[in-house]
Amino acid sequence: MMRTTTDLWGNPVSNASAADIRGLEGAITLMNAYQADPLAAVDRLIAENPEFVMAHAFRAGMLATTGDKAFEGELAKSVAAAEALLAKANDRERLHIAATRAWLDGRFDEANDRWGRAAMLYPRDTLAVQFAQLTDFFLGYSHMLRDRVARVLPHWDKNVPNYGFVLGMYAFGLEESGDYAQAESMGREAVALDGRDAWAAHAVAHVMEMQGRATDGAEWLETTSAHWAPNGLFNFHNWWHQALFVLDTGDVKGALGIFDKKIAANGYSQALELVDGAAMMWRLSSFGHDVGDRWTKIADGWTSRLNDGYYAFNDLHAMMSFIGAGRAAEQKLLLKAAERSAEGKGTNAMMSREIGLPSLKGFMAFGRGAYDEAVEHLLPVRGKANRFGGSHAQRDIFSWTLVEAALRAGDRSLAEGLVAERLAGKPESRINLAWDERVCQLPSRLAA
């Protein structure tokens, strides 16, 4: 009989040999760095020891935090396999398993709580910290992205393996909480400790995005990519940020080149890639740029997820693609699916009721040229859009679309106010300056 022992960080691990635990530590490091391929590594461990409890819990956690209905079948298998071993699990492992069960059942907030509790009880459990922070992200808990990691930091220092990855997580939380100077400092330190840390590089990119430092951001990602891009699982999203930076300098051709080579080239195998694809194409299309047939593959990717009612944040990006590709039937089907979801139970039902449905209706109105109606739907939800997850940079799609809608509707007072907001944060942005020029061309209400 195998006994409970501890891993490299002192976390209890049950029903595993020393070799099993070493393998698990390697998979955890890959996951922390967003390097390929922690899932394959865990699958090998399970094949060698089918009763390795923490390996099953890890696999389930990875699949849950993709936020993708397409992986739900595999998630269900992993949760069932982990639950079958509950009698052999320790308290830490039971918390991980309970988190994945809650996620599978649609209780995302409860999953967040279980991983969060595991992180507090076992503060060197980077899987618990990482999965909890990812669910903070999905739930839009901006300050918890920071505080989640702050709780465990006293238990870490440079002498503890993988310390840099914890700093990288903290950097992202600091950025989403508005502490840009400390976020950049922490993120740069994390990248210096381990250049593979795609999340830390991403945190620094977010700082530069929020501060309107497009040139700095493009240079940062280009410089650091030599370390995080090889074998990276998160590359497409960092390249999405790179494309945003290039676009903000006015280089549309360059942004499309990055999109084609670094984002679309991956084939949209998961929802997160489809989100980035839709978000980039919407920005370009709504600003009047011809994106050719790029919408087609994105819309095709969302079609298989059309009726899943899984995550309202994803639904909005699916809607963008159906609008962009001119697929009216899919737009209606997606709206119906979201309405069904809003009538149900679970975390996504709340998200769909409060943010998802009005957002879908607003974007649909924009797509058919009903710009006043788009404003009517989107303006009230923009300020609380964090309730359906994502980052500040991702939710900027609301501001972007509202500015365009206000301009096209000829509503100078609204357009002027929205552009003033954007210029306050990014006074040198060519996109914001172009919008400001268009505002000045609208007749003022006083003049009328």
The domain in which residue 344 lies consists of 267-409
**326 and 237 within one domain:** no
Q: What distance in Å separates the CA atoms of residue 311 and residue 126, rounded to the nearest whole number?
A: 25
Tally of CB atoms within 10 A around 115: 31
Q: Is residue 259 part of a domain?
A: no
* Count of domains observed in the chain: 3
What would you report as the CA-atom Rg of the chain, rounded to the nearest whole angstrom?
Answer: 22
What DSSP character marks residue 5?
A: E
Q: Is residue 438 part of a domain?
A: no
Low-confidence ranges of the chain (pLDDT < 70): 1-4, 308, 445-448
Q: Is residue 377 part of a domain?
A: yes
CB 413 within 8 A of CB 439: no
CB 431 within 8 A of CB 317: no
State the amino acid at position 103 in one-letter form.
W
| Whole-number pLDDT of residue 4 | 66
| Whole-number pLDDT of residue 306 | 80
CATH number at 174 reads: 1.25.40.10
CATH number at 117 reads: 1.25.40
Contacts of 203 (CB under 8 A, 6+ apart): 168, 171, 172, 174, 175, 183, 186, 187, 190
| Whole-number pLDDT of residue 372 | 98
**402 and 274 within one domain:** yes
| Whole-number pLDDT of residue 1 | 43
Q: Is residue 256 part of a domain?
A: no
The helices-and-strands tally (H runs, E runs) of the chain is: 24, 2
Locus of tokens 């700093």 = 167
Q: Is residue 448 part of a domain?
A: no
* Three-state secondary-structure class, residue 13: strand
State the amino acid at position 152 in one-letter form.
V
Q: CB burial class (10 A; 0-12, 13-18, 19+) of residue 290?
A: exposed
Q: What distance in Å separates the CA atoms of residue 251 and residue 393, rounded to the nearest whole number?
A: 19
Q: Is residue 394 part of a domain?
A: yes
CA 357 to chain centre: 20
Contacts of 256 (CB under 8 A, 6+ apart): 284, 291
**208 and 130 within one domain:** no
